[in-house]
């Protein structure tokens, strides 16, 4: 659900090339970690009632080996989901044997994560839908990962913006790849100039975050960057509302690497009429 957990960088801005490369190295390390998005291998939306799970073909909730062919049963009852492991299926929760019961979703924080060997799963909530998100630290996408092409870092793409606050607090509608919409808090509008022309982006502010989160598109999406847009985080504005928007740190959403991610898309007005030739380029097959 939360997409903004990218590495932060406190480097001095003078050496943009070195700072950007250091930031991107941490980004790749996080992406390719045992919990990173490259391990995402499945997503099944649960219906009401019982659904069998395991690595056998044609089960309602497919799980990869080494999970047993018959691994257990999910039961959805309204907004609640429980899982009962099959005999001999040695799942753990927080390092302890899991013998069955209700699973906490990601709706209000960290979800329960069940593990067996290299495979883990959790229950996510999107609107009124509840799904089983499956990860495998031995996934081919992780094993075969060779990095992400980027534009050359440039000081020209470190742009000073002014956050123009809204007269009253507001939310904006953010669509996602599932065809759903979410209302997210926005602190205002970022106004900045590139090549003598004024542009605007509307960031969102997630509860407890010390950064602005921007979901944006631009004209490079047609050919060199991920077609659905990219993400970018900035520090909160200073007392005068000034914010440095460093497009060198624009990065691909998880959906660029897996069809099982549930990424937000640029909200209305956040597709820039210019080529932002900075940050990450296309990678993966999605």
How do residues 1-60 score in pLDDT, each as one tens digit? 445 445 554 444 559 999 999 999 999 999 999 999 999 999 999 999 999 999 999 999
Q: Are residues 158 and 266 in the same domain?
A: yes
Concatenating the DSSP letter of every residue in 105-138 gives -STTSPPPEEEETTEEEEEEEETTEEEEEEEETT
Q: Are residues 129 and 92 in the same domain?
A: yes
What are the C-alpha distances in Å from 95 to residues 53, 101, 112? 21, 16, 12
Task: Note if the pTM is more than 0.85.
Answer: yes
CA distance 143 to 160: 39
pLDDT for 141-186, tens place per residue?
999 999 999 999 999 999 999 999 998 889 999 999 999 999 999 9
Q: Are residues 158 and 253 in the same domain?
A: yes
Number of domains forming the structure of the chain: 2
Q: Are residues 185 and 263 in the same domain?
A: yes
Residue 8 confidence (pLDDT): 53
Q: Which burial class, exposed, middle or buried, applies to 192 when counting CB atoms under 10 A from its CB (0-12, 13-18, 19+)?
A: middle
Residue 5 confidence (pLDDT): 45
- The whole domain housing 171 covers 147-270
Q: Enumerate residues 6+ apart whose C-beta is below 8 A from 72.
A: 52, 53, 54, 83, 84, 85, 86, 89, 91, 100
CA distance 96 to 226: 40
Using the 3D structure, point to which of 121, 144, 167 is the last residue of a domain.
Answer: 144
Kindly state the percentage of the chain with pLDDT values over 70: 94
Mean pLDDT of the chain: 93
Region 68-75: mean pLDDT is: 98
Residue 2 confidence (pLDDT): 45
């Amino acid at each position: 659900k939360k997409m903004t957990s990218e590495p932060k960088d406190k480097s001095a801005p003078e050496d943009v090339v070195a700072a950007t490369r250091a930031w991107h190295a941490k980004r790749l390390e996080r992406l390719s970690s045992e919990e990173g998005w490259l391990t995402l291998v499945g997503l099944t939306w649960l219906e009401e009632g019982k659904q069998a799970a395991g690595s056998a073909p044609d089960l309602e909730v497919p799980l990869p080996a080494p999970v047993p062919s018959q691994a257990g049963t999910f039961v959805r009852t309204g907004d609640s989901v429980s899982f009962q492991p099959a005999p001999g299926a040695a799942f753990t929760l927080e390092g302890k044997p899991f013998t069955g019961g209700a699973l906490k979703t990601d709706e209000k924080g960290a979800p329960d994560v069940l593990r067996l060997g290299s495979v883990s799963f959790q229950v996510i909530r999107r609107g009124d839908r509840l799904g089983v998100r499956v990860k495998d630290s031995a996934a081919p996408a992780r094993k075969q990962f060779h990095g992400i092409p980027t534009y050359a870092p440039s000081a020209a793409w470190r742009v000073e913006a002014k956050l123009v606050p809204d007269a009253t607090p507001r939310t904006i509608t953010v669509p996602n790849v599932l065809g759903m919409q979410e209302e997210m808090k926005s602190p205002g509008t970022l106004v900045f100039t590139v090549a003598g022309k004024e542009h605007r982006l509307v960031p969102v502010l997630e509860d407890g975050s010390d950064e602005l989160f921007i979901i944006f598109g631009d004209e490079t999406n047609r050919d060199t960057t991920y077609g659905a847009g990219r993400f970018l985080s900035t520090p909160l504005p200073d007392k005068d509302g000034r914010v440095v928007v460093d497009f060198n740190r624009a990065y691909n959403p998880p959906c660029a690497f897996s069809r099982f991610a549930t990424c937000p898309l640029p909200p209305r007005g956040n597709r820039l009429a210019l080529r932002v030739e900075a940050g990450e380029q296309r990678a993966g097959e999605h």
